[in-house]
Amino acid sequence: MVLELNNITKNFGGISALTDVSFKINEGEIFGLIGPNGAGKTTMFNIITNMFLPTSGEISFLGEKISGTKPHKITDKGICRTFQNIRLFSQMTVLENVLVGGHCRIKSGVIRSVIRTKSQRKEEEFIRETATDLLELVGLSSYTEVVAENLAYGQQRRLEIARALASNPKLLLLDEPAAGMNETETEDLFDLIKKVQKRGITVLLIEHDMPFVMKLCDRITVLNFGKKLAEGTPQEIQNNKDVIEAYLGSE
């Protein structure tokens, strides 16, 4: 078990964003979190990364309770995310963006123990090698010196994923990665997420593009008005009457 959410409730004043939501994600899965606008999906990401504390409920990551852990410590533990709106260092080059993610990785206890035995220069080499590898993974090897804001939209999205991967996560959270992408960009993203999974990284993604979600995910949880409506394989979700009525039918 990589991630376990137990009875998560989040209230903002009088608004109940999440009510008693539980689900578990297995190692190596691509897990989808779907539901209509305002269903509580991004709030769940903010709770997993401890940007918000839940009103009640508990989160365990790799068997350890992480509720209350500071957001930067969450990265150290192996959870990294992208955001609904692109948040790159737009004036920095593609390579520099990924190097920033790599320098976050040094803070990780596991990596620090590796790096302690290397010289300062070796450390930098290690981060650069990782960044080069990740840029190849996301198909941006020939754009290393391009300023990030000059990339096409789909490339910027892939760069965000490379930067997140540079912190060496065990769990990658993607918030609407396919939003705004054209067909080719969406296909490239699909291949990329599959490659990420092949590297042994578990993926949790929020997405509104249903054909994409149904083809990509191993399992899915559906939220509606902050409550869990259903959970299952893509086929089970597509055939679930409550889900069709509340969400899929309106797509």
Interface with ligand ATP by CB under 6 A: which residues? 12, 15, 17, 35, 37-43
CB of 197 to ligand ATP, least distance (A): 23
- Quote the CA–CA distance of 164 and 166 in Å, as a whole number: 5
CB of 10 to ligand ATP, least distance (A): 8
Q: Which two tokens stand for residue 73?
A: 């410590």
Closest to ligand ATP by CB, 166 or 205: 205
CB of 167 to ligand ATP, least distance (A): 23
CB of 17 to ligand ATP, least distance (A): 3
Closest to ligand ATP by CB, 99 or 203: 203
Closest to ligand ATP by CB, 78 or 226: 226
CB of 43 to ligand ATP, least distance (A): 3
CB of 33 to ligand ATP, least distance (A): 8
Q: Cβ atoms within 10 A of the Cβ of 137, count?
A: 17
Of 174, 181, 134, 187, give the one whose Cα is nearest residue 153: 181
Q: 215-219, long-range: CB within 8 Å, 24+ apart, which pairs?
A: 215/190, 216/30, 216/32, 216/190, 217/30, 217/31, 217/32, 218/29, 218/30, 218/31, 219/25, 219/29, 219/31, 219/32
Closest to ligand ATP by CB, 18 or 172: 18
**117 burial level (CB within 10 Å; 0-12, 13-18, 19+):** exposed
Residue-wise over 118-130: b if at least 16 C-beta within 10 A, else e? eeeeebeebbeeb
Closest to ligand ATP by CB, 44 or 111: 44
CB of 110 to ligand ATP, least distance (A): 31
Closest to ligand ATP by CB, 24 or 208: 208
- Quote the CA–CA distance of 100 and 104 in Å, as a whole number: 7
Q: Contact at 8 Å (CB) between 206 and 175?
A: yes
Closest to ligand ATP by CB, 192 or 223: 223
- Quote the CA–CA distance of 197 and 171 in Å, as a whole number: 10
Sorted by sequence, the CB contacts under 8 Å of residue 124 that are 6+ apart come out as none
